[in-house]
Structure 1
Amino acid sequence: MNPTPSPSPLDVIVHAAPAADWQVWAAFAPLIAAVIAAAIAFAALWQRRRADNRAEWWRRAQWALDASISDQPTRAELGQQAINILGKSKLATPEDGVLLKIGTEDPLEAADRARQAEAGGTIVVADRVDAVLTRVDAAEATSDNEGDTSDDTGR
């Protein structure tokens, strides 16, 4: 028996051209897509976390406002202290702090402070002056003129 002859080895020479630029970029496309997707997911999670924190901040601010106008002195003081802390939070905007203060202060004192701030150029407080003045004007219109016995006809 003759063994089967084995083929003789062949030399294979491959002539390859250098890769085109688009081929190099195409090789990195999945990595680039993954980085973009991760960035979008991170931004969405950050935004959601911030919104959840703001919602919780606002829930606490509502509690503090309700507590600060309580008839119980201890609760009212605790509410005012909570408002002071919430106003300094990173989650509170400057406008939020002003609104919290105006919501718990005496309307006449708040209007006076707002007028002083408006003269200094603070626009946010100036916008709230109208709301406070409207409450003050409404309170004056419903008052009994404190002992004035004349009627509106001037008699």
Structure 2
Amino acid sequence: MAPTPSPSPATIILQSAPPEAWQVWAAFAPLIAAVVAGLIAAAALWQKRRADNRAEWWRRAQWGLDASFDSDPDRQAMGLAVLEVLAASRLATREELKIVEEAWQEPLEEEEAVLDSRAAVPDNEETDEAAEEVDQ
């Protein structure tokens, strides 16, 4: 059998219509979905970070509250100082600030009672002569 000659090359012309609007949007759908998922993930991370920070704030506030009611005056002063710093934080809610405010009241009232119970110390009025004697 004799070989058959190969067919002559055929020219094919493809004509396509311009894409429809929905086809353009469909091409960007994966990108839009990725952006939305990224925004949701960022919001979840922000919320978790804020919740963790608030939990740590409350843990510190508990320490400050415990210390403010301690019998040791130095520890009491430190607890009140910690509560003062924590009260200035943006993490504190109104309710928590009210708790801190109430915690300040009792130690401060006790301290005022102690100061009021002490006898008044008279002023030590020096005369001009006594002051001159000290200077010499």
Q: Give the TM-score normalised by structure 2.
A: 0.71
Higher relative contact order (Cα pairs below 8 Å, separated by 6+ residues): 2
Report if the CA contact (8 A) 1:54-1:91 is conserved. Answer: yes
Q: Is the 8 A contact 2:69 2:107 kept in 1?
A: no
In the alignment, is the contact (CA less than 8 A) between 1:88 and 1:97 conserved in 2?
Answer: no
- Provide the residue aligned with 2:53 in structure 1: 53
Other-structure match for 1:147: none
In the TM superposition, 1:69-148 aligns within 5 A as 69-106=69-106
Give the structure 1 partner of residue 27 of structure 2. Answer: 27
Aligned length: 109
Using the size of structure 1 for normalisation, the TM-score is 0.63
Runs of 4+ in 1 over 2 A off after TM superposition: 2-7, 93-99, 106-109
What are structure 1's unaligned runs of at least 5 residues?
110-155
Cα 1:82–1:108 shift into 2, 3 Å: closer
The SS at the match of 1:106 is helix
Q: Using the alignment, how far apart are the partners of 1:104 and 1:49 within structure 2?
A: 29
1:97 counterpart letter in structure 2? L
How far apart are 1:106 and its partner, in Å?
A: 3.0
Tell me the amino acid that sits aligned with residue 101 of structure 1: E
Task: State the superposition RMSD in angstroms.
Answer: 2.2
Q: Which residue of 1 aligns with 2:41?
A: 41
Q: What percent identity do the matched residue pairs reach?
A: 58
